[in-house]
């Protein structure tokens, strides 16, 4: 007898297109109160008072902090930095980098959670959203509902407020590079230049887009710091963690029930920690790169613990080792002082000290000597070289300078170089002709030294610059 054919499963052989990117699920973070929310708002106020306020401060009759790119001078309170001071920018970058390493090694993503502009502006934009559209459930209902005059009105109000704040942010940003009062006058007179217009709109658009629309997407997909921060973590780094041992097995229960007798842990599985999370993750699944360390889940869970009468801290700042070894808070603090942290602290303080000392002893005069090759001339008895001395007065008082030169017998400067005037925070190119008797200079490059001395100061500043006197 012929065997009947085996039944075959129907298989769809059509090619199926797979999405390369996860489709974004809109997150409606629930508002939360607690000590970490207070800390976050403290940083929002502190950073924004500085950002929006500093350009309006004056110092010596000019803007206190101004990065004047056109004239290549950076004013920071009483200091004026020139392109030659680039080393201070390098130092500033080094201090920022080591601070980031140090804070991250000690307590994870502190920067992301409290002070990063993306977090700060998202917090402000979410607050505006909550004021206009209401808390989480109202917002979800509004978005699900059909088009109505109320919905259009609320959305228009929200976006209007966001755009106004974003443009003000763009205006303030440009106010660090163009005197902000002048910029304000130009805005009111519709006389903004093309670059100023571009940067105000660009920065405003970036703020509106990142804090209003992109939000957690910036942290998850665009920020490189989220990707490499884990290399700065170790088993003693404080991170926001869910106490698995205490919380599991999770489950709902009546408030009066003896949940321990039922074999349940402290997590009532209410989902509040997920609802308050601005990146929409569940911290109970362990440390995830999406977690920005904002601590909203700690506040949320503490509120729940208070309500059900359990001890706070089911979600808390802890470390891998602290959880494993059941360390007390004092034990955790002792672990902070470990070699990596001490190394970062030592380097950071060394850089800060060196920079402070250098800044304190910074000479407010700079000199560059450029030999004018074309004007090298000679006659029978005398040889002449022409130089250009660029003198920069980096202080905010005008000064007089005397220029002299030495290094060869019989060296002479042509003209009166004993009272060269230079205005405050100004630079001047001074042509200097030097003659020397032919017999006193050998063929080739003869080393000479320019001395530039301030005149009329109680403690004169003296600067020497080496140069070459060339005989062809």
Q: Is 267 in the site for ligand SF4 (CB under 6 A)?
A: yes
User: What is the C-alpha to C-alpha distance for residues 90 and 290, in angstroms, rounded to an integer?
Assistant: 31
CB of 263 to ligand SF4, least distance (A): 16
Q: What's the Rg (C-alpha) of the chain? A: 33
Q: Interacting stretch for ligand SF4, rule CB under 6 A, among 165-173, 299-307, 356-364, 420-428?
A: 299-307
Q: Which H helix or E strand runs over 186? A: helix 180-188
User: What is the C-alpha to C-alpha distance for residues 247 and 284, in angstroms, rounded to an integer?
Assistant: 9
Q: Is 323 in the site for ligand SF4 (CB under 6 A)?
A: no
Q: CB of 268 within 8 A of CB of 253?
A: yes
Q: Is 304 in the site for ligand SF4 (CB under 6 A)?
A: yes
Q: Is 315 in the site for ligand SF4 (CB under 6 A)?
A: yes
User: Between residues 68 and 290, which has the closer beta carbon with respect to ligand SF4?
Assistant: 290
> CA geometry: angle at 155 spanning 151 and 156, to 5°?
115
Instruction: Record the tokens describing residue 209, joined without a space.
Output: 């887009």
Instruction: Record the tokens describing residue 226, joined without a space.
Output: 């989220």
CB of 36 to ligand SF4, least distance (A): 9
Q: 466: closest CA among 441, 445, 448?
A: 448
Q: Compute the Cα dihedral for 278, 283, 289, 292 and give only its sign.
A: positive
Q: Which of 240, 332, 341, 420 binds ligand SF4 (CB under 6 A)?
A: 240
Residue 245 burial (CB < 10 Å; 0-12/13-18/19+)? exposed
Q: Is 341 in the site for ligand SF4 (CB under 6 A)?
A: no
> CA geometry: angle at 194 spanning 191 and 199, to 5°?
110
Q: Is 271 in the site for ligand SF4 (CB under 6 A)?
A: yes
Q: Can you tell me whether residue 341 is helix, strand or coil?
A: helix
User: Between residues 108 and 204, which has the closer beta carbon with respect to ligand SF4?
Assistant: 108
Q: Is 238 in the site for ligand SF4 (CB under 6 A)?
A: no
Q: Which of 126, 211, 218, 283 binds ligand SF4 (CB under 6 A)?
A: 283
How many residues belong to the site for ligand SF4 (CB under 6 A)?
30
Q: Is 239 in the site for ligand SF4 (CB under 6 A)?
A: no
CB of 286 to ligand SF4, least distance (A): 10
User: What is the C-alpha to C-alpha distance for residues 397 and 400, in angstroms, rounded to an integer?
Assistant: 10
Q: Is 300 in the site for ligand SF4 (CB under 6 A)?
A: yes
Q: Is 218 in the site for ligand SF4 (CB under 6 A)?
A: no
Q: Is 295 in the site for ligand SF4 (CB under 6 A)?
A: yes
Q: Which of 273, 392, 408, 425 binds ligand SF4 (CB under 6 A)?
A: 273
* Residue ranges that bind ligand SF4, judged by CB under 6 A: 240, 242, 247, 250, 267-273, 276-279, 281, 283-284, 291-297, 300-301, 304, 314-315
């Amino acid at each position: 007898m012929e065997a009947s054919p085996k039944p075959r499963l129907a298989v769809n052989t059509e090619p199926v297109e797979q999405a390369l990117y996860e489709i974004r699920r809109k997150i409606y973070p629930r508002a939360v109160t607690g000590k970490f929310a207070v800390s976050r708002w403290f940083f929002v106020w502190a950073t924004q008072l500085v950002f929006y306020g500093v350009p309006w401060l004056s110092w010596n009759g000019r803007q206190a902090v101004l990065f004047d790119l056109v004239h290549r001078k950076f004013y920071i309170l009483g200091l004026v930095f020139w392109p030659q001071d680039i080393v201070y920018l390098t130092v500033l970058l080094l201090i920022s980098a080591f601070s980031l390493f140090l804070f991250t090694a000690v307590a994870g993503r502190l920067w992301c959670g409290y002070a990063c502009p993306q977090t700060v502006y998202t917090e402000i934009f979410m607050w505006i959203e909550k004021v206009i559209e209401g808390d989480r459930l109202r917002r979800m209902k509004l978005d699900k509902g059909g088009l109505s005059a109320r919905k259009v009105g609320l959305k228009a109000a929200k976006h209007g407020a966001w755009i106004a704040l974003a443009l003000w942010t763009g205006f303030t940003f440009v106010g660090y590079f163009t005197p902000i009062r002048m910029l304000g006058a130009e805005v009111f007179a519709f006389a903004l230049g093309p670059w100023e217009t571009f940067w105000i709109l660009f920065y405003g658009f970036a703020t509106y887009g990142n804090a209003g629309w992109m939000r957690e997407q910036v942290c998850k997909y665009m920020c490189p710091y989220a990707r490499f921060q884990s290399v700065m973590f170790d088993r003693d780094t404080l991170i926001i963690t869910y106490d698995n041992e205490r919380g599991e097995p999770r489950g709902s229960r009546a408030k009066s029930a003896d949940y321990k007798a039922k074999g349940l842990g402290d997590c009532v599985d209410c989902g509040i920690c997920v609802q308050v999370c601005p990146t929409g993750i569940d911290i109970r699944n362990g440390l995830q790169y999406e977690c920005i360390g904002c601590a909203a889940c700690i506040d949320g869970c503490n509120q729940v613990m208070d309500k059900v009468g359990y001890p706070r801290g089911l979600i808390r700042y802890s470390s891998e080792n602290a959880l494993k070894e059941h360390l007390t808070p004092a034990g955790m603090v002792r672990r902070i002082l470990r070699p990596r942290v001490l190394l970062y602290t030592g380097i950071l303080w060394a850089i800060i000290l060196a920079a402070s000392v250098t800044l304190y002893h910074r000479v407010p005069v700079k000199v560059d000597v450029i030999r004018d090759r074309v004007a090298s001339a000679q006659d029978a008895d005398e040889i002449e070289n022409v130089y250009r001395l660029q003198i920069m007065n980096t202080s905010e008082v005008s000064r007089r300078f005397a220029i002299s030169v030495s290094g060869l017998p019989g060296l002479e400067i042509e003209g009166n170089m004993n009272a060269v005037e230079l205005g405050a925070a100004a630079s001047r190119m001074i042509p200097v002709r030097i003659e020397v008797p032919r017999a006193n200079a050998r063929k080739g490059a003869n080393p000479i030294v320019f001395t530039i001395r301030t005149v009329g100061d109680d403690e004169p500043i003296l600067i020497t610059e080496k140069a070459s006197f060339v005989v062809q």
